[in-house]
Structure 1
Amino acid sequence: MKKRLFALAILVILAAGAAVFLLRPVSGPARDLTLVGDVARGNDLIRLGGCVACHTDTANKGALLAGGAGLQTPYGTFVPPNITADPDAGIGRWTLAQFSEAMSNGRGPQGPLYPVFPYENYTLMSDQEIADLYAALQATEPVSTPAAPDAIAFPFNIRPLMAGWQALFFSPARFAPDPEKSEGYNRGKYLAYGPAHCVACHTPRNALGALEWDKAFTGSPGGPGGRAPALTAASLREKGYDAETLVQTLRDGFTPRFDVLGGTMGEVIAESTSHWADPDLEALADYLLTE
């Protein structure tokens, strides 16, 4: 009897320890929330971060940033929410601290966020960029219509489980440039892993939806953005890309083989990369064609 009680006690202790580990909040470095955001810079970040492409239902002529089309995943359909300045349907009541927590640590007022929202990438952004983006979103035209609800399958619709997912797979941090690489390379890597979150769509995920970082940019058979091809230097060069043609494709969607990129990537080009400054396009091409 004593042995059974001892074994049971050990199991209870192990279960409690696992619960504490899996349910503890995951947090990165503290941010400076005293910074004043710049709306103009924030508007650039809205395009740089793909906010319009995701949070606007362009196919149905939805209002800007008022909620996107549903993203089909193996776990259900996630609908990008209204992120306009409306206080009820959007994020108009959010404080900078709440916005920073969502962008940096994957936690919103409603609890842990699903990784279909690429906070794994946005966490790399600087404190000033977070303040700028917040200022720009708070300056948007409020839209009082909420986005449609998600349709997530059980048990993935149990939001607290996301705390365990984050404990296992999420390591919030800020981008650290490689001092041995060029400024253009570092900027391109920052964009690819950070706000532009190219790596989120073009990398395979495991059975629990976590990115397989050791296979970054090798392509995805299907994820939040659908099927996405490899973006390794070898695969890009095989398709006829050099720095100039890759920049041009990101501007207008035309490939070196005279195809036109459509679908999700077409939306990304139309609503995001075609609005980028030339140095950012060139930096991204520099990085992708180097790795």
Structure 2
Amino acid sequence: MAQHSAKIKIDMREKLFEIGKNWLKISEEYSFSESESFFIKENFWPIIVVNSYDTEWVKNQLDYYKLEFIKENKIFDLDIFKRNNLDFLVFELNEYLDNIKKGKTKIWTERKGDYFHWFKLHLDTKSYTLLISDKNEIQLEIYFKTLLSEILKFIEAEQVLPIRDIETITEQETPISEQETPITEQETPITLSDVITHANSVEIVERVKVQYKNIKGKRLKLLLLAFQDLNLLPKERIANKFHKCCEKEFDWEIASYTAMNGHKFNEVTDSVEFTSMKQYLETLIKTN
């Protein structure tokens, strides 16, 4: 099991950072002169290529590795998961960001659309760390901050969930703090329009399916909050039912319940889209 967890850590880190690139191959790839190649050889180690991914990729990776942990261990323990898979990555990102903030980094050169970032990290005693990225100094700082933010959001969301035996629950089960009466096979299946408290709920749902086609995860949570803020859905014990209805009625993959309900509303990053969703729902209410 320990070996499996270690593999998860290595896979994720290697996707973000290609560590230990050979100076000679880098010199050939970027057509450096002999003197430039010698300078790289003598001054930089390690040489790291920084791969660029969007926030959705980061979220999907975290969910994937969580599920892999569960498949292997039949339970999810955040402390162990963090220690094996996230803590060192968080440390690395913080170290890069701290280096940037303190002005200990600069761009050595730019070649073929990539920037060669010269870092002086605390373990760099006889050499310097070289990061190769398609981002300039500001873009690289924003990227590292974004990666770190998504990881910390994942950790924060998981901290509110208790350690549970995965064999006795499903991935989309509601957290204990939000107990809902399960829908049994004998009960009449409900639809999203059944739980929306408006006379024209059927039409509202149909319009929402068009306006927000392919919505999932975090954005689905914002839509739920918009419904609740307008008193179109109950404030309590509805999230799991809402997700199940969307999963059944929407003709696209909406991601897991955890991906939706694990997101915590962020005033800085979520307010604009939340307000937009709320305003759109208000137009549906007024026209129905």
Shorter chain as denominator, the TM-score bin is under 0.3
More helix by share: 2
TM-score, normalised with respect to structure 2? 0.22
**Considering only CA atoms, is the larger Rg found in Structure 1 or Structure 2?**
2
More strand by share: 2
